[in-house]
């Protein structure tokens, strides 16, 4: 018998999960976390009051046990690096495609209707004239983007074939607290500033992204969990603001009080999208999602978190 307030969060000890699980517990949910701690850390959820289960989404038995008695699943567990997906596409496929299939199939077998999946916007759609939206034609240029597109495809198929109420949220570039293990630009820039090494930018700095604070991402995940939207829905969760990598480096330096910090430019890496930002109009109309944290304030708060939680001896 499923507990109407019990939610399983795969990868819940990771970056996004650390904020989301706190929000869910505060909202009165009983939260079970399934995480293999490859990039997550049980310490992220110390004292939060969630049930922590160590296990891998590629382990059918672990998934079946984790699904027992839950009403819904939020699937965050993933191999999330574009660069690593190019270096090792097989592992990326194994985690993101086979693992996501396993989560959906375990939900089907356990009779869990609502599954919210973490997807991606830029890497999945590839090079396209922004702002992108749910009607943009996906043409991924990295194995990571392709793996997320495959996950969305299975989510839609399970919705239509088995009646699962799946919702895939295409995240913009997420930043904020608990991101020390994330291999994103902001983390790398902050570490370079802290260690007095040059910030490295691949390409000429004109590549752009849509940076969205983790608090807004977590809010969207909970809205997708609670709102009555049709199975197979796909939504972009973003800020709608285009920021170049050069601008991001400047904002990080300003937030850290190091406006003259050196920047080193290196050749562009394969598989990385040139320009990307997204419209969140459909998420606004279907979920009531509206981002609440602007980039300047968010970066300053994130730098303070790094100083207090990562760079403090």
CA distance 266 to 154: 38
- Which position among 144, 211, 280, 306 bears the catalytic label? 144
CA distance 68 to 2: 7
Please answer whether residues 113 and 165 qualify as being in contact, where contact means their C-beta atoms are separated by less than 8 angstroms.
Answer: yes
Note the maximum CA span of the chain.
Answer: 60
DSSP annotation of 95: I
Please enumerate in sequence order all residues whose Cβ is within 8 A of that of 208, keeping only pairs 6 or more positions apart, or say none: 130, 242, 243, 244, 245, 274, 275, 276, 277
Q: Which phi and psi (to 5°) does residue 209 adopt? A: -140, 170
Token code pair at residue 90? 């097989």
Angstrom CA distances, 307 to 89, 255, 261, 293, stand at: 34, 11, 17, 20
| C-alpha dihedral sign at 191, 212, 267, 206 | negative
CA distance 84 to 63: 25
Q: How many whole angstroms from its chain centre is CA 197? A: 28
Active-site residue, 144 included: yes
Token code pair at residue 158? 């399970």
Q: At 213, which helix (H) or strand (E)?
A: strand 211-213
Q: How many whole angstroms from its chain centre is CA 206? A: 23
Burial of 92 (0-12, 13-18, 19+ CB in 10 A): buried
Q: Which phi and psi (to 5°) does residue 123 adopt? A: -65, -35
Name residue, tokens 């999960």: 17
Give the residue numbers annotated as catalytic, written as ranges.
Answer: 144
């Amino acid at each position: 018998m499923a507990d109407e307030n019990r939610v399983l969060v795969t990868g819940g000890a990771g970056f996004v999960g650390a904020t989301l699980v706190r929000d869910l517990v505060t909202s009165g949910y009983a939260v079970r976390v399934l995480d293999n701690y490859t990039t997550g850390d049980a310490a992220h959820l110390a004292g939060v009051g969630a049930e922590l289960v160590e296990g891998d989404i590629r382990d059918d038995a672990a998934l079946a046990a984790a699904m027992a008695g839950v009403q819904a699943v939020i699937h965050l567990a993933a191999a999330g690096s574009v660069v690593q997906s190019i270096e090792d596409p097989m592992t990326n496929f194994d985690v993101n495609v086979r693992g996501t299939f396993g989560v959906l199939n375990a939900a089907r077998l356990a009779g869990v209707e609502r599954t919210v999946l973490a997807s991606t916007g830029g890497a999945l759609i590839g090079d396209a004239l922004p702002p992108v939206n749910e009607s943009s034609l996906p043409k991924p240029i990295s194995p990571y983007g392709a793996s997320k597109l495959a996950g969305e495809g299975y989510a839609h198929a399970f919705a239509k074939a088995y009646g699962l109420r799946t919702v895939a949220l295409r995240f913009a570039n997420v930043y904020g607290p608990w991101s020390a293990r994330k291999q994103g630009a902001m983390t790398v820039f902050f570490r370079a500033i802290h260690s007095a090494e040059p910030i490295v930018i691949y390409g000429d700095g004109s590549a752009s992204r849509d940076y969205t604070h983790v608090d807004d991402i977590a809010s969207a995940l909970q809205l997708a969990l609670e709102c009555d939207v049709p199975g197979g829905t796909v939504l972009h969760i973003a800020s709608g603001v285009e920021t170049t990598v050069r601008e991001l480096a400047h904002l990080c330096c300003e937030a850290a009080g190091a406006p003259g910090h050196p920047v080193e430019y290196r050749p562009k890496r394969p598989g990385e999208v040139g320009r990307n930002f997204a419209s969140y109009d459909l998420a606004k109309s279907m979920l009531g999602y509206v981002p609440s944290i602007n980039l300047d304030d968010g970066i300053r708060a994130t730098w303070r978190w790094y100083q207090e939680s990562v760079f403090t001896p």
